[in-house]
A = this chain, B = another copy of it.
Amino acid sequence: MAHALSLHHRLSHADAPTDSDRTERAIAQSEAVCRSKGARLTPIRRRVLEALHGVDGPLGAYDLVDLLGSQGRRMAPITIYRALDFLIEQELVHRLASRNAYIASSGTVAGARTTAFLICDGCGDVNEIASPDVAETVLKVLRDQGYQPRTKVLEITGRCARCQDVH
């Protein structure tokens, strides 16, 4: 991938309890979601989800292979992909097609809302926003066309406020 940012830059501080707390809460919530749907959040799937919650930004599938491999037995790429498929199915993770990367669904897993990701070309930051206006407008167009949407993810690339005017 030739990462713009090294993994280390994106790893959360281990000594800042808030981050791991957030991860724990997200996992607990995910477990509840899976239980209610009869879906099995197995140890592998859970570890992948934890890894994605543990970093600030998206990770490639092979990033996950390396990251999880470094803290235990190395898993084959296909294993990671299978876990990702499951997590995407449960809408716990989004695939950022434009980046070939995966990111944990943030916060409100509440409804099947349309979310947009603002992906910065400069710093690589990914900003997940849930705009009811955009969601509604898009849904209206889809209704007009007779489309039944599956993906409700919009990926928009450009430059974030901090990275304006830079090359």
List A residues at the B interface (Cβ < 8 Å).
97-99, 116, 118, 120-121, 127, 129, 131, 133-134, 137-138, 140-142, 145-152, 154-161, 164
Known A133-B140, A134-B134, A137-B137; contact A146-B161, beta-carbon cutoff 8 A? yes
B134 x A159 contact (CB < 8 A): no
A147 x B133 contact (CB < 8 A): no
Main secondary structure of the interface of A (DSSP, over half): mixed
Q: Which of B99, B127, B145, B158 contacts A148 (CB 8 A)?
A: B158
**Taking CB as reference atom, which chain B residue is nearest A99?**
B97
Known A98-B97, A151-B155, A154-B154; contact A161-B145, beta-carbon cutoff 8 A? yes
